[in-house]
């Protein structure tokens, strides 16, 4: 829509288009690190809801863009800046929502509950696409019949602004959510374990040293986190979650942030007709992409996650997406529309009945103990967003230089590597990471006293 309001229907400048696409992901990296750290260090309750306030403020600032007074490029820069701020809030929601849910879930049904939460992303995408179609339908007379193309400026603001309704609807609940019992217990048990370890050390020192150090001070959370991750058994899990998320997002966002390539293949690129007809056709194509495989994949995961396990689902998801990416790459220029739609539907299905569900919610939220869960999740998510940023910035350049099929082969390689790195991760079904941490600390205490 912005290209019709700002550039008379011409394409957005490549550099600014890349910034616009990558802006939210750039902010997400900051939000995932920052909110993830503070959610562990000072508690979920202290920060939960603040990320939503950022989202609300940034959204209002985005739709307030003064396109009448700014130049076209200036308008894109303005929106991109506040999309970065929006991304900080969205990024903060990744570790917070996953941790808040995992903290309150029973081990037996934890994966199912996390997937129910994550499945709302699919419904959000579908409803968002429907909203665009409805708003465009309301603007048909003005944009199409009266040929006032500039009125699309109001359409995009309404589409974006309507997202404030669910944001305001959930803000109070987030701000008033109490701290979970599991988080409080994890903080106390961790402090007790650290105190026990120090007492063992102090018992072997001089009486003067005991008197000076008898009151152990609580270590900074970041230092505790580094100490925990200094052991290979923990570090390899973080490496696994980070790398899997990065590799998946290179492929996932490479495709989903550049849907014009897909829309062109299925005949919904909006190349012909009036401005309104082009926009309406693109919006219809977006609904098709979202509905075919995107939403169903989430719910198949919900039904099978406790039976198959996270590791099996993630590995088969990576391998199946690799298969369909290979088919698309090999047949990209020869597929008819029906074959392309079928293949792309299965690709979307296995993105979500696979690694997109495992890396996003289940693994980082389930494999790490409560004390370090949000920060580890934030680091993993930020790694993924780096992959998304790379895809947003270089996809168009690569497709122009080496062709779309070659780029799809790169995504194929990312999926194969993702399946390999998943082998670093343990199965987390029925696994209580807090109990595992308690056992490890008990072993250290026993070893120190021996």
The region of weakest confidence among 9-13, 59-63, 339-343, 386-390 is 9-13
Domain boundaries of the chain, sorted by first residue:
2-184+218-449
**Pair 267, 130: CB distance under 8 Å:** no
**Pair 358, 313: CB distance under 8 Å:** yes
For domain 2-184+218-449, give its CATH number from 3.40.50.920, 2.40.340.10, 2.170.260.10, 1.20.1250.20. Answer: 1.20.1250.20
Residue 356 has pLDDT above 60, yes or no: yes
Per-residue model confidence as pLDDT tens digits over 93-125: 999 999 999 999 888 889 888 888 888 888 888
Look up tokens 């991109």; give the residue: 80
Per-residue model confidence as pLDDT tens digits over 228-242: 999 999 999 999 999
Per-residue model confidence as pLDDT tens digits over 281-334: 888 888 887 777 778 888 899 999 999 999 999 999 999 999 999 999 999 888
Q: Which two tokens stand for residue 237?
A: 């899990």
Q: How far apart are CA 291 and CA 210, in angstroms?
A: 66
Query: Pseudo-torsion of CA 365, 292, 86, 382, nearest 10°?
Result: 40
**End-to-end Cα distance, the chain:** 70
Q: How far apart are CA 122 and CA 137, in angstroms?
A: 23
Residue 350 binned pLDDT confidence (cut-offs 50, 70, 90): very high
Per-residue model confidence as pLDDT tens digits over 250-287: 999 888 777 777 777 777 776 777 888 888 888 888 88
Query: Pseudo-torsion of CA 38, 40, 41, 42, nearest 10°?
Result: 80
Q: How far apart are CA 72 and CA 215, in angstroms?
A: 62
Radius of gyration of the chain (CA): 24
pLDDT for 193 equals 52
Per-residue model confidence as pLDDT tens digits over 401-439: 898 899 999 999 999 999 999 999 999 888 899 899 888
Q: Which two tokens stand for residue 73?
A: 């490029």
**Pair 252, 416: CB distance under 8 Å:** no
DSSP state of 430: T
Q: What is the pTM of this model?
A: 0.87
396 vs 50: which has the higher pLDDT: 50
Listed in sequence order, the DSSP H helices in 204-336 are 207-213, 221-229, 232-256, 259-265, 275-291, 294-308, 310-331
Q: How far apart are CA 154 and CA 222, in angstroms?
A: 46
Residue 372's Cβ-count burial label (10 Å; 0-12, 13-18, 19+) is buried
Q: Which of the residue ranges 19-28, 284-293, 379-388 has the most confident prediction, judged by mean pLDDT?
A: 379-388
HSE-up of 186 (CA within 13 Å, CB side)?
26
Q: How far apart are CA 312 and CA 423, in angstroms?
A: 10
Residue 11 binned pLDDT confidence (cut-offs 50, 70, 90): confident
Q: How far apart are CA 2 and CA 279, in angstroms?
A: 11
Residue 338 has pLDDT above 90, yes or no: no
Per-residue model confidence as pLDDT tens digits over 359-373: 666 788 899 999 999
Among the listed residues 248, 263, 289, the one whose alpha carbon sits nearest the alpha carbon of residue 411: 248
Sign of the torsion formed by the C-alpha atoms of 183, 184, 189 and 192:
positive
Residue 61 has pLDDT above 60, yes or no: yes
| pLDDT, mean over the chain | 85
Per-residue model confidence as pLDDT tens digits over 167-222: 999 999 999 999 988 888 887 765 555 455 445 444 444 333 333 343 334 456 78
């Amino acid at each position: 829509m912005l290209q019709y309001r700002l550039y008379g229907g011409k394409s957005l400048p490549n550099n600014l288009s890349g910034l616009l696409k990558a802006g939210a992901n750039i902010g997400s990296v900051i939000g995932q690190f920052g909110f993830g750290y503070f959610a562990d260090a000072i508690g979920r309750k202290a920060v939960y809801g603040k990320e939503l306030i950022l989202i609300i403020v940034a959204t209002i600032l985005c739709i307030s863009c003064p396109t009448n007074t700014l130049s076209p490029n200036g308008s894109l820069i303005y929106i991109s800046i506040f999309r970065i701020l929006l991304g900080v809030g969205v990024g903060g929601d990744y570790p917070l929502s996953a941790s808040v849910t995992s903290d309150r879930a029973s081990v037996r049904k934890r994966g199912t509950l996390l997937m129910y939460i994550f499945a709302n992303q699919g419904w959000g995408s579908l409803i968002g696409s429907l909203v665009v179609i409805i708003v465009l339908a309301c603007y048909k007379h003005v944009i199409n019949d009266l040929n006032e193309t500039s009125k699309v400026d109001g359409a995009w603001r309404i589409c974006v602004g309507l997202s404030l309704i669910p944001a305001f609807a959930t803000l109070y609940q987030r701000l008033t959510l109490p701290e979970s019992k599991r988080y409080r217990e994890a903080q106390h048990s961790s402090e007790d374990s650290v105190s026990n370890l120090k007492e063992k050390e102090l018992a072997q020192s001089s009486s003067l040293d005991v008197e000076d150090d008898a009151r152990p001070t609580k270590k900074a959370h970041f230092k505790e986190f580094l100490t925990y991750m200094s052991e290979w058994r923990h570090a390899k899990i973080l490496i696994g979650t980070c790398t899997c998320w990065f590799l998946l997002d290179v492929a996932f966002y490479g495709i989903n942030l550049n849907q014009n390539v897909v829309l062109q293949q299925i005949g919904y690129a909006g190349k012909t007709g009036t401005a309104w007809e082009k926009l309406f056709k693109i919006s219809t194509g977006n609904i098709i992409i979202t509905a075919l495989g995107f939403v169903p994949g989430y719910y198949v995961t919900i039904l099978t996650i406790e039976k198959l396990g996270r590791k099996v689902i993630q590995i088969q998801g990576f391998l199946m997406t690799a298969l369909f990416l290979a088919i698309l790459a090999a047949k990209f220029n020869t597929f008819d529309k029906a074959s392309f739609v079928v293949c792309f539907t299965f690709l979307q299905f296995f993105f979500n009945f696979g690694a997109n569900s495992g890396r996003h919610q289940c693994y980082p939220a389930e494999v790490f103990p409560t004390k370090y869960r949000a920060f580890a999740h934030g680091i993993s998510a930020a790694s993924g967003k780096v992959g998304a940023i790379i895809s947003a910035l270089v996809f168009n350049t690569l497709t122009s230089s080496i062709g779309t099929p070659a780029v799809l082969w790169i995504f194929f390689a990312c999926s194969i590597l993702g399946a390999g790195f998943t082998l670093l991760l343990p199965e987390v079904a029925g696994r209580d990471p807090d109990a595992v941490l308690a056992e490890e600390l008990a072993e250290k205490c026993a070893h120190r006293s021996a």
